[in-house]
Amino acid sequence: MVEAFVPKNLEECLLRLNHNDYEIVAGGTDALIQNRSHTSMPIGFKKPVIYLSLLEDLKYIRQIDNRIHIGANISLESILESEITPKILKDIIIEMASPAIRHTATLAGNICNASPAGDSLVGLYLLDALLEVQSYQNKRYVLLKDFITGVRRIDLLKNEMITEIIIPNLDFTDCYFRKVGPRLSDAISKLSFAGAYKLEANIIKDIRLAFGAVNTTVVRNKEIEKKYINKLVSDLKNNVENLVKLYEPFIKPIDDQRSNKEYRKEICFNLIREFVDKI
């Protein structure tokens, strides 16, 4: 049976991380299932575990200047209840899991899981989320899109952990989130889509689209988005098929037990059309 540690604060936790290659567990809602053993047996972790449950120093959400700082150990429910949480993130959290999961699961956990179908990731990519990553010796900042390097692959050293998620407080005219799955809460998405835009007198000032579960990581393409900045909304609406064509090379879903690639591709294009239609 593997060793387990429950550090009392961040400093103790970071110090401990220097000793070995640990599985870091916050809420545990994914980690326990991925390491499931048998009823009445200890959880089947393959390496020693550090539990973050007592790390109160990472349970916060606060605004500093025009940025929102989210501690790595705060529950999804507390983020949902906070007045400063951006609407797009609230829309995602309420659909991504049941209350029981939301009460314990964390954003940092969803990020480190690095699943192509991670629901919070489309919102965080859309917001250009920045991560604070710490070891006992060092602190660094990395963009989420650079942190996730592939399917379940992340840029994290053995002695490091995510300590904070930083998102700019952006003023969108509106935003849009769609999760496609057999059951909203709890089911893993067949695909997910988040969109946001800012208009000034029918001119597009900002437009962002992010797609989940259609490639190895979340798809967001700033080059395509840039083509529509300072353009009339009507130009976009009248040429929505052009937008769909621009995204087509990046939408490369797979067949799996949840869905097939043809369905995912078609629905993905429909979601682009619906998003534009609602602008």
Partner 1 sequence: MKINFKLNNELVELDTTPNRRLLDVLRDDFGLTGVKEGCGEGECGACAVLLNHQIVNSCCTPLANCIDKEIITIEGFSKTKRYQVIKDAYAKLGGVQCGFCTPGMIIATESLLNKNPKPTINEIKIALSGNLCRCTGYNLIVEAIVEAARVGEGLW
DSSP alpha helix (H) spans, the chain: 10-17, 31-34, 76-81, 87-96, 99-102, 107-113, 119-126, 144-147, 222-226, 233-238, 240-247, 261-278
Q: Name the one range near partner 1 by CB under 8 A: 37-45, 57-65, 126-134, 136-144.
A: 37-45
Region binding partner 1 by CB under 8 A among candidate stretches 92-100, 220-228, 244-252, 255-263 = 92-100
- Which residues in the 185-244 window bind partner 1 by CB under 8 A? 185-186
Residue 80 CB, shortest distance to partner 1, in Å, is 11
Query: Residue 177: what are its φ and ψ, rounded to 5°?
Result: -135, 135
**Site for partner 1 contains 182 (CB under 8 A):** no
Contact between 99 and partner 1 by CB under 8 A: the answer reads yes
Report the residue from 11, 15, 42, 140 that binds partner 1 according to the rule CB under 8 A. Answer: 42
CA-nearest of 134, 144, 125 to 16 is: 134
Return the residues of window 1-30 that contact partner 1 according to CB under 8 A: 1-2, 4, 6, 25, 27-29
* Residue 93 C-beta: closest distance to partner 1, Å: 12
From 59, 60, 94, 267, residue interacting with partner 1 (rule: CB under 8 A)? 94
Give yes or no for a contact between 119 and 152, defined as CB atoms under 8 angstroms apart: no
Q: Which one of 53, 63, 169, 242 is in contact with partner 1 (CB under 8 A)?
A: 53
Nearer to partner 1, 43 or 236 (CB): 43
Residue 120 CB, nearest approach to partner 1 (Å)? 16
The CA-atom distances, in angstroms, between 254 and each of 101, 116, 263 are 27, 11, 10
Q: What gap in Å lies between CA 194 and CA 113, rounded to an integer?
A: 19
Please count the residues of this chain forming the interface with partner 1, following the rule CB under 8 A. Answer: 33
Query: Helix, strand or coil for residue 183?
Result: coil
4, 28, 47, 240, 262 from 35: Cα distances, Å: 14, 10, 10, 45, 32
Find the part of the chain contacting partner 1 (CB under 8 A) among 82-90, 179-187, 252-260, 271-279: 179-187
Tokens of 144: 């989420």
> Does residue 32 touch partner 1 according to CB under 8 A?
yes
Residues at the interface with partner 1 (CB under 8 A): 1-2, 4, 6, 25, 27-29, 32-33, 36, 39-43, 45, 49, 51, 53-54, 77, 94, 97-101, 103-104, 184-186
